[in-house]
Chains A and B, each alone.
Chain A
Amino acid sequence: MSASSPDGPSPLRKLAWTVGAVLIAVLILFPVVWMGLMMIKPTDAMFARPTVWLFTPTLEHFDYVVERGFHVYLLTSLVLGAVSTLLVVIIGTPAAYAFARFEMRFRDDLFLFILATRMAPPVCLVIPYYLIFAKLGLLDTFLGLTLAYMTFNLSFYIWVLRSFCRDLPVELEEAAMLEGWSRLAVFRRVVFPLLRNGIIATSVLCFIFAWNEFLFAFMLGGKNVHTLPVAIPTLITAQGVRWGEMAVVGMVALTPVMLAVFLLQRHIVRGLTMGAVKG
């Protein structure tokens, strides 16, 4: 096969592509690897010049992080992200379906209104939230932050999932209704399974939003509800920045997101390339 073969790329070309891809991957992964090394590097070797590649690994950074209660913050972040995302899916899925399927008065206006809740920068909203939550006694509570995350994730979720619903052929539902199923049964047993990829892809994004969120967690949280993104800056101390500990927390914060993406990769790819449900 010559280099200019008409049927498919030549081996040389393939090799070039592979090398290119590996280079890009290394470039992207390098900071992660570096962070991984920092986790177990003794503090005095951290910024030594020239770079120390060989050292005796230490667990001192882990000890410090656990001592400071970071495992509790991790749990807080996980619970907040999971609960708020779950509620978004439970409330948002029927809402998105209704927006896609039913004719109702002011439907489009209402839909735009829902989207509009995401148009304001979060900084504009956080003060009113603070004042309202203070009145309602929701400051520094799980319920308060869950509600706050739901409000901005819900609009995103409904907006995205509506287009998934619209891509479903309505005849599938009509066929099932002719067999005697109610609208609710059709939704549960026909629509829901077909929307699965879309729901998974969208809810993973919602979870990541909640997971990474700093501003609301910082303003509306406190001693009781302290999430990881809020806790990380406390490692910048008067005595200096605790780089090793930061690397540990950073790596831990990265893990759930990476796990979610790897485990659900198949659904996410299908979900993000919409129209996959069409026959």
Chain B
Amino acid sequence: MPDVGSAIFGGCAGCAAVGRPGGLVVATVRFEAVTKRYGNVSAVRSLNLICPQGEMLALLGPSGCGKSSTLKMVAGIEAVTEGEIYFDDRPVSALTPGARDIAMVFEDYALYPHLSARDNIAFPLSVRGVPAKTAAERVASVIDLLGLGGMAGDTVRDLSGGAQQRISIGRALVRDPELILFDEPLSHLDGDQKVQLRAEIKRLQQTAHLTSILVTHDQSEAIAMADRVAVMNDGVLQQVATPAELYARPANEFVANFIGEPPMNLLSATVEGEEGAPVLVGAGWQAPLNGGTETEVLRALRSGERLTVGIRPEHVAIAPPGAGPSGFEARVAAVEPRGDSDILTLQLGTERVTAEVDGPSRWRSGERARVALPAEALHLFCGECGHNLRRAA
């Protein structure tokens, strides 16, 4: 859909790709040592992060991790305690929210209940004193773009959540801001509308090359929509990477456990065996490391060192008992059918391990099985600080 960009910006598709009418260019957002404190509580600690021009960056984490505070600092609704936020090379933390040229889409839509859908979308233009004719054209193009034509005259409080959020997105797009912030935009929508709007936001963001920041606690949302995901916990940035990278190479135990459903298995283990050919030994299982891990990581391991070993449920190899010499005995403690896959809970000595197999499978709870943890699928984390040893190496 090449004319989507022009529908928003009023230029041709070519202009939209290089810049905006009036010389506005979508910004790169850069956080430098940004800290937010409420009294003695640190909500965000020394955050360094870049959201490149035209990309969508997701801030992902459990509630209270500082992602919303970060977004509100970008918007200017919350003040920055220390550090600075730059749009391109322009420091913005001293600017009022209105001077930052940002649009925001809120969790609760934040539409004016007494206005119609059209008036809500037109609101930012009327505030800025855009001439009525230009404003009407832009509002009409946004209404078209979002397929809101049928409800443009309706009062918003009578519309469904999905429609309200689309109007709210329209309000954000209509004045073509430098940056769009999405604050949990899909949290209050139900399944169908959620998936539909998720795709819609992604499409708009990509075709119009909008720089945008998405705050969410839902990893599937972050992974589906964002170009890059910044995982936060307890006010500290854990890792920022593409969704694929986060999945394949989590920086630490927190990210490993947070990304992926069902979450990665994390088991304690001790390094044993001779140098250069170490074996991981846990409670009721062991796994040789040869062939699966880079030599420099292997060389750094010391016998007797304690590690946390991670393996994703879909990488756990499971076979009927007596199927081969490799692996070790386990008992199937529970089976949770999910249609296209089955989630098995395996009792491995004193540890419990989740495995995901193609479904519907023939595994029944109580059965014995032969389980192997393939060396190439193992993630090794420092037993003390939880960092991924492979990344550190």
Contacts from A to B (Cβ < 8 Å): 169, 171-172, 174-182, 190, 193-194, 277-279
Q: Are B156 and A279 in contact (CB under 8 A)?
A: yes
B213 vs chain A, min Cβ distance (A): 14
Which of A175, A180, A181 touches B110 (beta carbons < 8 Å)? A175
Docked CA distance A193–B112 (Å): 10
> Contacts A180-B98, A180-B99 hold; do A171 and B106 have CB atoms under 8 A apart?
yes
Q: Are A179 and B98 in contact (CB under 8 A)?
A: yes
- CB contacts (< 8 Å) of B113 on chain A: these are 194, 277-279
> Contacts A174-B106, A178-B103 hold; do A279 and B111 have CB atoms under 8 A apart?
yes
List 8 A-B pairs, minimum CB-CB distance, nearest first. Answer: A180-B98, A171-B110, A171-B106, A175-B110, A179-B127, A177-B97, A279-B157, A178-B97
Q: Are B108 and A178 in contact (CB under 8 A)?
A: no
> Contacts A179-B124, A179-B127, A279-B157 hold; do A172 and B110 have CB atoms under 8 A apart?
yes
Q: Are A180 and B128 in contact (CB under 8 A)?
A: yes
Q: Which residue of A lies closest to B107 (CB)?
A: A171
B104 CB–A CB distance under 8 Å: yes
Which of A177, A193, A277, A278 touches B98 (beta carbons < 8 Å)? A177
Interface string of B50-89 (1 = CB under 8 A from A): 0000000000000000000000000111000000000000
A112 vs chain B, min Cβ distance (A): 21
B123 CB–A CB distance under 8 Å: yes
- CB contacts (< 8 Å) of A171 on chain B: these are 106-110
Q: Are A175 and B108 in contact (CB under 8 A)?
A: no
Chain B interface category by residue count = 20 to 34
B102 CB–A CB distance under 8 Å: yes
129-173 of chain B: CB within 8 A of chain A: 156-157, 164, 171
Q: Report the tally of A-B residue pairs with Cβ distances under 8 A.
A: 62
- CB contacts (< 8 Å) of A278 on chain B: these are 113
B114 CB–A CB distance under 8 Å: yes
Docked CA distance A179–B99 (Å): 8
Q: Are B127 and A180 in contact (CB under 8 A)?
A: yes
Interface string of B205-228 (1 = CB under 8 A from A): 000000000000000000000000
B169 vs chain A, min Cβ distance (A): 12
A201 vs chain B, min Cβ distance (A): 17
Q: Which residue of B lies closest to A175 (CB)?
A: B110
- CB contacts (< 8 Å) of A194 on chain B: these are 113-114
Q: Are B112 and A190 in contact (CB under 8 A)?
A: yes
Please, could you name 22 A-B residue pairs with CB atoms under 8 Å apart, sorted by A? A171-B106, A171-B108, A171-B110, A172-B112, A174-B104, A175-B106, A175-B110, A177-B76, A177-B96, A178-B98, A178-B100, A179-B98, A179-B123, A179-B127, A190-B112, A193-B114, A194-B113, A277-B113, A278-B113, A279-B109, A279-B111, A279-B164
B156 vs chain A, min Cβ distance (A): 7
Docked CA distance A193–B114 (Å): 9
> Contacts A177-B97, A179-B98, A180-B98 hold; do A279 and B127 have CB atoms under 8 A apart?
no
Q: Which residue of A lies closest to B114 (CB)?
A: A193
- CB contacts (< 8 Å) of A182 on chain B: these are 96, 98
Q: Which residue of B lies closest to A185 (CB)?
A: B127
Docked CA distance A178–B171 (Å): 12
Docked CA distance A190–B103 (Å): 17
Which of A178, A190, A277, A279 touches B102 (beta carbons < 8 Å)? A178
